[in-house]
Copies of this chain bind each other. A is one copy, B any other.
Amino acid sequence: MSKPVLHFWFEFASTYSYLSAMRVEDMATAAGVEVAWHPFWLGPIFKAQGWDTSPFNLYPLKGAYMWRDMARICAARGLPLRQPDPFPQNAILAARTALLALQHPQGPAFCRAVYAAEFGQGRRIDSQELIQELLAETGLPAQLAEEASGDAAKQALRDSVAEAMRLGIFGAPSFIADGDLFWGDDRLEMALARLSA
Contacts and interface: CB of A to CB of B under 8 A. Distances in A.
Interface of A: 49, 59, 61-62, 64-65, 68-69, 72, 168, 170-171, 180-184, 186-187, 190
Given A68-B181, A181-B68, A183-B69, A61 B168 contact: yes
Given A49-B59, A69-B183, A183-B69, A64 B190 contact: no
Contact of A65 (B49, B69, B72, B170): B170
Contacts of A181: 65, 68
A171 B64 CA distance: 13
A15 to B, nearest CB: 15
Contacts of A183: 65, 69
B190 A61 contact: no
Contacts of A170: 59, 61-62, 65
Contacts of A65: 168, 170, 181, 183
Contacts of A68: 180-181
Contacts of A168: 61, 64-65
Contacts of A49: 59, 61
20 contacts: A49-B59, A49-B61, A59-B170, A61-B168, A61-B170, A62-B170, A64-B168, A65-B168, A65-B170, A65-B181, A65-B183, A68-B180, A68-B181, A69-B182, A69-B183, A69-B187, A72-B180, A72-B190, A184-B186, A186-B186
